[in-house]
Amino acid sequence: MCASMATRYAYLNAKIRAMISKMLSAGDYEKMLQVDTFEECVRMLSTTSTGSELTELLTKSRVDLVEVDQALTGVFVRAFKLISGCPPSNAREFLGKYLGKIDLDGLKTVIRAVHSRMRKDEALKFIISSSEKTRNEFARLIEAQSVAQLVEEVKDRALKEALTKAFPLYESTSSTVPLESSLDKALYSLLWGLIKRKLNGIDRAHAEDLIGCRIDLNNMLVALRCKQLGLGSSALELLIVPIYHRVSINVDEVVKARNVLEVLNIFAPTAYKEIVRQAREAFEKESDITQLENLADRYMAHQSFREFIGYSFHIGVALAYLNLKFYELRNIKAVIVGRYENIPIQKIRSALTFF
C-alpha cells in the first residue's frame, strides 16, 4: 500500500476507533429496557454519546416517537459522512454503494407493510433509511394500494427489474420472500462486481470476505425459505446470488431434500456449521427459520468486529463500522419502539444484535 493511502486509512482508523468506543454496550440496552416508561427510555438513551442529540426533544411536553426516529437517522447519516471522505476515491465509491444495503432493508419493510396492509405510521416506526430523502420515498411507497402498484412505482431501474422478475413467485406463494430475496440478489451482485472492478489488494480481500460471508448466509436463507414455500429449482436459480465464498448451493441437492431440516443438514459440514447447529436446535423447538436470520446477523456483527484486530489499514474497517452502526441503530429502534408499544422485555431483548 502506498504511503498516501496508508495515511488516509490511518486517519480513518483513528476516527472510527473513537466512534466505536462510544457505541452502546449490552449494559446500556439493559438499562433502557429496565426503566418504566418510553419517555424514561429516551431519557436514558440521551445520556449516551449516540443519543446525545435527543436532549432537546426531552424539553417538550410530550416525547414524539417520529421525532426521536428522525434524530437517530440523522446520527447515522452524519456518521457515514464523517468517514466517507477519508478512504481513496475508489473505496469511497464502493462505500457509497454499500450504504444502499441500509435502504434495501428499508424497502423490504415497505414491501412487507403493503403486503400485510399495515398502517403507514406503524410501518415507518420500523424503517431504517440512510437519509431523510429516502425516508420520504419510503413514506410515498407505503401509500401503494397493492404490492403490484408498489413495484410499479419503484424508481431504481435495477431494483424494479429484480422485483418484476420475482413478482410471479410472490403471486403464487402470497409471500414477500421472493421479492425480498430478489432485492438482495440485485444489490450483492452489484457490490461483488464493484469489488472486482474498483478494489485491489488488501481492500479487495477484506471486502470480499465481509460481502462474501453475507452472500453465503443469504443464499442459505433463500434455500431454506424456498423449501418452506415448496418452490423448485427455477425459483432457487432466480433468487440465489450466483457467488459462492465459503459455501456453494447445490440446487438439485436442495430440491431433493424432503424438508427444512434436511436442507440445514446440507450446510452442516460448512464453515457456518455452528450457525447451522443453533438454527437446527431453534427450528426443532419452534419450526421457525427466522432464528437463522438473527444468528446470521450476530455472525456478521462478530466478523465486523474482527476487522479491527491486527493490521487495519483497509476498507474492511469502514465496512465493518457501517455494519456495526447499522446494528446499533436497529437495536435502539427495537428498544425504543418496543417500549413505546409495551412489547415484553424478553421479546425485545431477543431481537437485539450484540457485538
Q: Cell numbers 415484553 correspond to what residue?
A: 344
Q: What is the DSSP letter of 99?
A: T
CA 296 to CA 184: how far, in whole Å? 15
Determine the CATH number of domain 7-91+317-346.
1.10.132.50
Ordered by start, the domain boundaries in the chain are 7-91+317-346, 182-306
Per the CB < 8 A criterion, the answer to whether 76 and 329 are in contact is yes
Entry field: residues in the chain: 355
In tens digits, what is the pLDDT along the chain, a chain of 355 residues?
Answer: 555 566 768 888 888 988 899 999 999 999 999 999 999 999 999 999 888 878 888 888 888 888 898 888 888 888 877 777 667 777 888 888 888 888 999 999 999 999 999 998 888 888 888 888 888 999 999 999 999 999 999 999 999 999 999 999 999 999 999 999 999 999 999 999 999 999 999 999 999 999 999 999 999 999 999 999 999 999 999 999 999 999 999 999 999 999 999 999 999 999 999 999 999 999 999 888 888 899 999 999 999 999 998 888 899 999 999 999 999 999 999 999 999 999 999 999 999 998 8
| Cβ-contact 191, 211 below 8 angstroms | yes
d(CA 70, CA 139): 13
Query: Can you spell out the DSSP letters for 200-220?
Result: -HHHHHHHHHHHHHHHHHHHH
Question: Could you give the angle at the alpha carbon of 172 between the alpha carbons of 229 and 220, nearest 5°?
Answer: 30
Provide the grid cell at 274. Answer: 455452528
pLDDT digits (tens, 9 = 90+) for 62-80: 888 888 988 888 888 888 7
Which tens digit of pLDDT belongs to each residue from 71-129? 888 888 888 777 776 677 778 888 888 888 889 999 999 999 999 999 988 888 888 88
